[in-house]
Amino acid sequence: MIERLPLPAPLAALLRRAFFPEGSFRLPLPAQLDRVIIYGGLVAGAVVTPILLVLIVLLVLNVLTAPELVFWLASAVIIGGALGSVLLKNIVHAALSLVMTLLGVAAIFLLLGSEFLALVQVLVYGGGVTVLLLFGLMLTNATDDPIVSDGAQKPFAFLVGIALAGILSVALVDQIWGAPTASTVAFRELGARLYRDFGLPFEIASLVLVIALIGAIAIARRDRPEDTEDTAMGDGA
């Protein structure tokens, strides 16, 4: 697989040895994902490494503190991933780019002292939601033709996006917050507050989840076999 990539031969060999060493266990993944993984790793490395280097230099020079380093790194990952997921032409690439953003957000949560939330973020988003999205892609893009061209209103969307980000930034920064400092929330406290004060909303949220899943099944399922056949024939014509 790696041989078919448009890479210089020595580099390809190096990568093959790095990613898929001889006789090692091969994950039962589709071969196409190799390309994704390799390119993804390359891109991520290419983006993150220089930033990381710059930041480390700054840290060493005592311009930045460690938390600040983490913040800027995570911000770079978040913004980069976000841009990737809204700009990339390939649907699968865009969806995977989301994972990057979400992991960066998890880092931000850690930085803000919410370990629990960071865990949830990784588990629910990085795992569940992303896999769900990829399933959706798989099921809806039956053809191998990744039509991801953007809509005709892209320029307007660009303006609106910029304007909204600008306005929100201005509004948020303009406000006088009184320079507070962040504090950490302990797991125990969080649990107590969540189940004691927000017990009913918590239950309702679980109900919402169940209803949403049942609803999703109800919407997506085939009505009746005979109907589906008729519909399929009709649609095919």
Partner 1 sequence: MAGDIPMENFLVLSAILFGIGFYGVLARRSAILILVSVELMLAAVTINMVAFAAYLDPERFTGLIFAIFVITVAAAEVGRALGIVLRLFRDRQTAMVDEASDLKW
Partner 2 sequence: MGMEQVWLLPAIPAVLFALMGLFNRLVPRRGDFIVILGMAAVVVLSFLVLLDFQGSFKDGHFAPGDSNFYSFSWVEIDTGVVDDLLLIEFSTFVDGITVLMLAVVSIVTLMVMVYSVGYMHGEVRYGWYFAVLSGFGAAMLMLVVSGNLLLLYLSWEAVGLASYLLIGFYWERQTAAEAAKKAFITTRIGDVGLLIGIILLWRGAGSFDIQEIIHFAEGGGYGETYLTVAMLMLFAGAAGKSAQFPFHVWLPDAMEGPTPVSALIHAATMVVAGVYLVARMMPVFDVALVARDVVLYIGLTTAALGATLGLVTSDIKRVLAYSTVSQLGFMFVALGVGSVTAAMFHLFTHAFFKSLLFLGSGSVIHATEEQVVETLGGLRRKMPATTTLFVIGSLALAGIVPLAGFWSKDEILLVLQDGAGFGPFVILAATAALTAIYTTRLVLLTFFGEPKDQAAYDHAHESPAVMILPMALLALLAVIAGFVALDPVGKALGFTGGIGEVVFTQGHEGHAFKLDPTIAIGATLSALAGIVIGFIYWSGAAERAVRARQWSPEFHDLLVNRYYIDHLYQFVIDKVVLGLATVVAYFDRWVVNETGVDGSAQGISFAGYRLKFFQTGRIPNYALAMAIGVVVLALVAIGRT
CA distance 210 to 217: 11
Binding mask 160-189 for partner 2 (x = CB under 8 A): x--xx--xx-xx--x---------------
Q: Does 63 bind partner 1 (CB under 8 A)?
A: no
| Shortest Å distance, C-beta 171 to partner 2 | 6
When binding is defined by CB under 8 A, the residue of 21, 151, 225, 234 that contacts partner 2 is 151
Q: Report the residue number, 50 or 166, with the smaller CB distance to partner 1.
A: 166
- Asked whether the beta carbons of 76 and 134 are under 8 A apart, the reply is no
172 binds, options partner 1, partner 2, none, Cβ within 5 to 8 A by partner type: partner 1
Contact region with partner 1 (CB under 8 A), list: 3-11, 21-29, 44-52, 93-101: 93-101
What radius of gyration do the chain's Cα atoms show?
A: 23
Q: Which range binds partner 1 by CB under 8 A, 12-20, 21-29, 38-46, 145-153? A: 145-153
CA distance 138 to 155: 29
Longest alpha-carbon distance in the chain:
72
Under the criterion CB under 8 A, does residue 13 sit at the interface with partner 2? no
* Minimum distance from residue 166 beta carbon to partner 2 (Å): 10
Q: 169-208: which residues touch partner 1 (CB under 8 A)?
A: 169, 172-173, 177, 179-185, 189-190, 193-194, 197-198, 201, 205-206, 208
The interface partner of residue 182, options being partner 1, partner 2, none and the CB cut-off 5 to 8 Å by kind, is: partner 1
Closest CA to 42 of 72, 13, 82, 15: 15
Single out the residue of 60, 79, 70 nearest to residue 113, CA to CA: 70
Q: What is the DSSP code string of 32-52?
A: HHHHHHHHHHHHHHHHHHHHH
* Per-residue burial over 204-214, b = 16 or more CB atoms within 10 Å of its CB, e = otherwise: eeeeeeeeeee
24 is a site residue for partner 1 (CB under 8 A): no
